[in-house]
Amino acid sequence: MTATIEPEVGKGRLRKEDERLITGRTRWTDNLTLPGLVHLAVLRSTVAHAKIVSIDTSAAKEMPGVLAVFTGDDLDPEGKIGMPCAWPITPDMKSPRRPVLAQGTVNFAGEGVAVVVARSAGEAEDALAEIDVEYEDLPVVLGLENALAEDAPLVHEDLGTNRNALWVFDSGEAGSGGNVEQAIADAEVVVKRRFRQQRLVPAFMEPRACVVDPTAAQLTMWSATQIPHILKTMSALTLGLPEHKIRVIAPDVGGGFGGKIAVLPEEIMCLLIAQKLGKPVKWTESRSETMVAAHHGRDQIQDLTIAAKRDGTVTGLKVELLADMGAYLGLVGPGVPILGAFMFNAIYKIPAYHFACTNVFTNTTLTDAYRGAGRPEATFAIERMMDELAAELGMDPMELREKNWIKHDEFPYTTVSTLTYDSGNYEAATQKAMELFGYEALRQEQRERRERNDPVQLGIGISTFTEMCGLAPSRVLGSLDYGAGGWEHAAIRMLPTGKVEVITGASAHGQGHETAWSQIVADQLGVPFEDVEVLHGDTQSSHKGLDTYGSRSLAVGGIAVVKATEKVIEKARKVAAHMMECSEDDLEFSGGKFTVKGTDRSTGIGDIALAVFAAHDLPEGVEPTLDSEAVYDPENFSFPHGTHLCATEVDTETGRVRIRSYVCVDDVGKVVNPIIVEGQMHGGLAQGIAQALYEEAVYDESGTLTSGTFADYLLPSAADLPSFTTDRTETPSTTNPLGVKGVGEAGTIASTPAVVNAVVDAVRQFGVNDIEMPLSPMRVWQAIRTGEKAAGGPGAEAGGGLGSIDPAHGGAQ
């Protein structure tokens, strides 16, 4: 007799996490206080490039409450400590040492120069003003092409170049496709474009913070990080500390979006100073510090050449990138644009492909992962390019895509960039999206508005995207020279009372792992959802893991959980057979019970857990535990895909853009929790749309970040975004037992080109074929008037973008 229980996976469970978050009972790192806690404040360089002539800390040391002031030389007299970069993309990549605090020179405005330790945060802050730093200006290197110019000054004199690395993939050489130069030479149509991926700020809402307690047996660090496990190992390696003497805890973390994948100089500083003083220390940054000191994202110049036949068949794609690393290399910074190498060919069958990326140093904040990391950039460029090619050929842009995409019966499909897409159905997602959107009716309205010269023109933007998720198969990371693997760990503890503790190496910071993992385990073990507790983010309880980024948690970490439960069931099966005096082969497990086939005799997993705990009568040679762990290394990436359609109204008299409707149909494989999936889509869309319309980190000619606060950096508010229509198709991944693919980055990756394509489509009849992001009213207006795509200044001046959605309440007041 098997009770039919409704499966948990697929259910829209409300989140377990919420209770503490909606009542203010949250544990942010900055909430923490310890006996004798002292506070750090970091003095940051106001100049982008200079020699440090002298630092006088004597007056600061006399300030009330101040315990100590340290410079880089004080903390690291031999100049040996360098912040780690785990992704040397080529053997000859140039890696400057990034000190804990600047030593000798400062290389970007915002770099730490000295640190004050005081009894209160306020006193530490006050004392910063008393530190006297004398700088001798060096020429500031800004802009990718400037940095590569023949006679350009150098960011790092000792490297002899501003070129960090050149990474190349060529399908002709790899044997995965033809020669792109040949394809271009033979092409009936060639379209070339240059796109600019502006620099963005990840802008997680919780500023970064770190507490280190040196008074316990292990040196304990709490940090607002996405990567507690990596941070632990990297801290040990960076400082030569014994790894078993370090414990890292990521408590509640207020968002990350890639921005908290880092090993911070401030974290290393906290470790050094806590040990030096023998006291617990805390560092919490202000938002203004986050803006200049936390890594930025994107910042590329993309040159694309696409070759095609007149009938629209794409015959070749050549991609040449320049990617701004900033002044130093982040933890995975150099590899971010390289992730894009596998995504420019997107969902299309492209016979010849060449990709070359030059990473470049400039005197700016370093860049590293930001939601999508390399894949949004690639998707943007290819989806913009498909629209440009369609315009050149006079074809409907959807028809062009359809002509070139991989058909649903062609999976598994190995692409020109050597990835094997396991599954997908672009036709199904597209058809559903077109219906929800009312594609034909909107095209009709567009024609009418054009004919009557309506001051408000309508544009339709398409983005049919895929992405590689579930970072990553360790062997692939190895072949890309990444410094670690891509597996994930999980463990199950079966408690004597039948409750279950699940330990995961994926470290959530808002995604909802506690809820989703509980659903998975409830199904696997047949226990109630409420009886499962998920533990994560503390290297003491969750001792092994590679953390959360790259939409990997479910597709890798979730599968590790499944594998661990399978081991629990196998252990329990032996005991159940013993308890019921039958052969293991006669047992079937379902709904939390082992039943002897063909009878109604059964034993529940909770009873077995109790029997194992008592251990009075176990079969010969069986250890008294059901607890199990598993480490899962995926054999392939997963490939979510979707069709995003955006309709924009562009006021040709003011340049104002209004998103009239946004429809997306995503295929993220099997869904564990549809509510969480939808939430991830919404948030992702908001960030992608924000790149298209609002956000840009802008530097002035002296290297000062002029959009360095939330008053200047245009993070959209509720009033600046539309409601989205989201829907799904479900083509299970065939490479993991849950059939899941990952959803964390999809919305961000897909939406930016959909919006920009829509705006360009609205004004193409004025001779416009590109407008640089963000598409501020000024830029759009200027493009319509002059065809100048980057016109109207940086576009991030206060009020330049906000309010585009809603004319009645526009502008940043």
Using CB under 8 A as the criterion, which residues of the chain lie in contact with another protein when the complex forms? 14-15, 17-26, 28, 30-31, 122, 203-207, 252-255, 257, 286-288, 509-512, 675-676, 678-679, 682-687, 709-711, 715, 717-719, 721, 723-724, 747, 806, 809
Closest approach of Cβ 205 to ligand FES, in Å? 4
Give the residue with the Cβ less far from ligand FES, 271 or 686. 686
Closest approach of Cβ 337 to another protein, in Å? 23
Give the residue with the Cβ less far from another protein, 663 or 721. 721
Is the distance from CB of 528 to CB of 598 less than 8 angstroms? no
Residue among 415, 379, 372, 381 nearest 743 (CA)? 372
Nearest-5° angle of CA 91, CA 335, CA 169? 70
d(CA 642, CA 645): 10
Give the residue with the Cβ less far from another protein, 606 or 801. 801
Cis peptide before 753 (omega within 30 of 0): no
Closest approach of Cβ 680 to another protein, in Å? 8
Task: Quickly tell me which residue has 């991989």 as its tokens.
Answer: 406
Report long-range pairs for 405-413 (Cβ below 8 Å, ≥24 apart). 405/347, 405/348, 405/349, 405/464, 406/347, 406/348, 406/349, 408/731, 412/734, 413/349
Residue 794 binds to ligand FES (criterion: CB under 6 A): no
Give the residue with the Cβ less far from ligand FES, 3 or 205. 205
d(CA 40, CA 115): 7
Structural tokens at position 366: 């370093």
Residue among 260, 242, 259, 243 nearest 251 (CA)? 260
**SS3 of 165, please?**
strand
**Among another protein, ligand FES, none, residue 509 binds (CB under 5-8 Å by kind):** another protein
Q: Using CB under 6 A, count the residues that bind ligand FES.
A: 3
**Among ligand FES, another protein, none, residue 286 binds (CB under 5-8 Å by kind):** another protein
d(CA 458, CA 281): 56
**SS3 of 211, please?**
strand
Residue among 419, 193, 403, 420 nearest 315 (CA)? 403
**Among ligand FES, another protein, none, residue 130 binds (CB under 5-8 Å by kind):** none
**Among ligand FES, another protein, none, residue 326 binds (CB under 5-8 Å by kind):** none
Point out the residue whose Cβ comes nearest to ligand FES: 205
**Among another protein, ligand FES, none, residue 676 binds (CB under 5-8 Å by kind):** another protein
Residue among 28, 630, 503 nearest 285 (CA)? 28
Residues 6+ apart with CB under 8 A from 593: 2, 526, 602, 603, 604, 605
Closest approach of Cβ 486 to another protein, in Å? 24
Which amino acid is located at 667 in the chain?
Answer: D
Residue 512 binds to ligand FES (criterion: CB under 6 A): no
Task: Quickly tell me which residue has 């860049």 as its tokens.
Answer: 367
Closest approach of Cβ 719 to another protein, in Å? 4
Closest approach of Cβ 255 to ligand FES, in Å? 5
Give the residue with the Cβ less far from ligand FES, 72 or 510. 510
Residue 258 binds to ligand FES (criterion: CB under 6 A): no
- Report the residue count for the chain: 813
Give the residue with the Cβ less far from ligand FES, 178 or 255. 255
Residue 255 binds to ligand FES (criterion: CB under 6 A): yes
Is the distance from CB of 114 to CB of 130 less than 8 angstroms? no
Q: Could you give the residue ranges of the DSSP H alpha helices within 419-545?
A: 426-437, 439-451, 474-479, 513-525
Which amino acid is located at 419 in the chain?
Answer: L
Residue 510 binds to ligand FES (criterion: CB under 6 A): yes
**Among ligand FES, another protein, none, residue 387 binds (CB under 5-8 Å by kind):** none
φ, ψ (nearest 5 deg) of residue 528: -65, 145
Residue 205 binds to ligand FES (criterion: CB under 6 A): yes
Closest approach of Cβ 284 to another protein, in Å? 8
Closest approach of Cβ 669 to another protein, in Å? 20
Closest approach of Cβ 795 to another protein, in Å? 19
Give the residue with the Cβ less far from another protein, 270 or 664. 664
Residues that bind ligand FES (CB under 6 A): 205, 255, 510
